[in-house]
Structure 1
Amino acid sequence: MQSVIQPQKTALITGAASGVGYAIAKLCRSKGMHLLLLDIDHENLAKTKAALAELNSSLITEAFVLDVADAALWKETTRQIADIVQDIDLVVLNAGKGYKPQGTDTGRLKPWLDGNYWEKTFNTNVRGPLNGLEALLPVLTASKNKAPKSIVITGSKQGITNPPGAGNPAYNASKAAIKNLTEHLAFDLRSDPATENISAHLLIPGWTWTGLMGNVGPTDEAEVKKPSGAWYPSQVAEELAKGLETGAFYIVCPDGETDPALDQARMKWGSEDVVEGRPALSRWEKNWKNRAEEAIQADARTRRA
């Protein structure tokens, strides 16, 4: 399937008002695409719409304030979109958020004592994309235009390597769920002749300086101060474009500190905890940590050779 990032095609992007979502929208606009921008942040969404419309006023640029966790609002927004465009060629379900557990406990049990922390995380990071699929899949499948269409869902390496941390369990688990459900979606789409023109892809950013880390709003990256090892959101957008061009399902982005070989070695070690019967998250377990690091670095060196 050819990439859907082409002139006069239409992209719908959630979390479009900053970070990776804005970068993807900007890349799509540079390729001559119409844009449907969705975000809960109405102020930055308005700025995003204005900035992208200014790049090419002849193309459609529409913005919709949306909480992705609101299934009814998703359906209403989809009805509004149907009055504006006939087809959606690229869907990027990118909106996501990390929350911190609340409470007086400061130890490892803190996340497990705050049910609201889990609920908020899963409502945004898992129910959000599922709500989007429920609203948009009927639009994509009903289209008489059987040209290629793509659905991209933003995951995270944390959903694969699962690093422990006081605020990480719910976020990691939500992104692990995203990996799982996107794999199923891709299989189901390609297994049905009626939907084989629709591909699904899992975007897996590395360390990226996004709104989750303070890079909020539609920013000029030349003015953004970030750690030297982090990627700009535009680099993730470019990696996505390459992945769609080659038809990749897992679009794994490196960053300034972690190359593909190290990513692969870390992912392999984590998956082998099950096969080898090691302790859960052995990479960080005190009796395994040094052995894990030595093995991972050796594996990475082999992969680079």
Structure 2
Amino acid sequence: MSVFQAQKTALITGAASGIGFAAAKLCRSRGMHLALLDIDAVHLRQAQEELATVNPSLKTESYQIDVGDKNQWRKVVDQIKSAFTHVDLVLLNAARQQRAQSQYEGKLKPWADVESWKQTFDTNVFGTLNGVEAVLPLLLSSTTSKSIVITGSKQGITNPPGASTPAYNASKAAIKNLTEHLAHDLRSDPATAHISTHLFIPGWTWTGFMGNVGPTHEDTVTKMSGAWYPSQAAEVLVDGVEKGSFYIFCPDGDTDWALDQARMQWANDDMIEGRPAISRWETSWKERADEGIRADAVRRRT
């Protein structure tokens, strides 16, 4: 049974903008109560006010939180338990992409700024773990169908290089691994088998990382032509959960599923074929990688 139903409750982190806000709008359109969490108090308040007007008979509560802080999670969950009779959907979507600051430039930059790694992992990894620990008791309060959706990234799979990306890529690779284990553990125990777990993997989406900050109206947002709107990604998320998919990959205007498959296959084959790490971007391999990925994508489309 789908969790996206009237009178169900969704708890969403990173709800003040981007995919989190778009998912909240979709949940509200299904008649769901909303617990909105974000670190951005100003935009969180705006999101709450806008969503509350859609159907004033439904509950719309907001909670400012730094997801990397376990104590804040405890306080917020206590407040949620007081405000809502149950929680049915948990979308752990909050993330950051911290740019390294150091005396080095270019490719050496991230390796001289451990603090940027810590800040990235505090939000992207430990923020998610804190959320899982805090909300599991809410999902165990009954045996009706529940869902946990955790937002990953294709960068945690294909691992593209760049001065600002190693920490983010590593954090999202950790998210992939921990979500796989969480799904296995929950479905393997009869006491928790009613909780489905899903890894949502967006494509190129015009979110706060791209400057689309706050609960914006997409018809007023100027974006690059290849990117998707957050609402498009949110629709794929809902469809994937309702189909029971664990890996929920989201395309975009530039990348279809066949190209995603080919890129992931190439990245995984670096280990199997003994190629250099992330060979797709290695000077001596780049041309062969481009040709191989393109040919594989064409084959997959036929």
* Separation (CA, whole Å) in 1 of partners of 2:194 and 2:204: 32
* Separation (CA, whole Å) in 2 of partners of 1:151 and 1:249: 10
Letter in 2 for 1:169: P
Corresponding residue for 1:216? 213
Letter in 1 for 2:115: N
Corresponding residue for 1:108? 107
* Separation (CA, whole Å) in 2 of partners of 1:280 and 1:169: 13
CA contact (8 A) 2:103 2:112 kept: no
Q: How many residues align?
A: 302
**How big is the shift at 1:260?**
0.3
Corresponding residue for 2:23? 24
Corresponding residue for 2:55? 56
Corresponding residue for 2:127? 128
Please list the CA deviations of residues 136-171 of structure 1 after superposition, one character each: whole Å capped at 9, or x if unmatched.
112211x13x11100000000000010000000000
Letter in 1 for 2:163: A
Please list the CA deviations of residues 167-190 of structure 1 after superposition, one character each: whole Å capped at 9, or x if unmatched.
000000000000000000000000
Q: What is the aligned counterpart of 1:199 among 196, 200, 221? A: 196
Root-mean-square deviation (CA), in Å?
A: 0.6
Q: Provide TM-score, normalisation by structure 1.
A: 0.98
Letter in 1 for 2:138: V
**How big is the shift at 1:69?**
0.5
Corresponding residue for 2:278? 281
- Residue 96 of structure 1 aligns to a residue whose secondary structure is coil
* Separation (CA, whole Å) in 1 of partners of 2:33 and 2:138: 17
Structure 1 consecutive aligned stretches of length 4 or more whose deviation exceeds 2 Å: none
Equivalent residues in 2 for 1:165-180, closer than 5 Å: 165-180=162-177
Residues 1:266 and 2:274 are matched in the alignment: no
Q: Provide TM-score, normalisation by structure 2.
A: 0.99
Q: What is the aligned counterpart of 2:297 among 291, 300, 305? A: 300
**How big is the shift at 1:85?**
1.1
**How big is the shift at 1:103?**
1.5
Identity of aligned residues (%): 64
Unaligned 5+ segments in structure 2 are: none
* Separation (CA, whole Å) in 2 of partners of 1:255 and 1:107: 28
* Separation (CA, whole Å) in 2 of partners of 1:276 and 1:192: 37
- Residue 109 of structure 1 aligns to a residue whose secondary structure is helix
- Residue 88 of structure 1 aligns to a residue whose secondary structure is coil
Please list the CA deviations of residues 196-247 of structure 1 after superposition, one character each: whole Å capped at 9, or x if unmatched.
0001100000000000110000010000000010000000100011101110
- Residue 292 of structure 1 aligns to a residue whose secondary structure is helix
Unaligned 5+ segments in structure 1 are: none
* Separation (CA, whole Å) in 1 of partners of 2:152 and 2:190: 27
**How big is the shift at 1:107?**
2.6
Corresponding residue for 2:90? 91
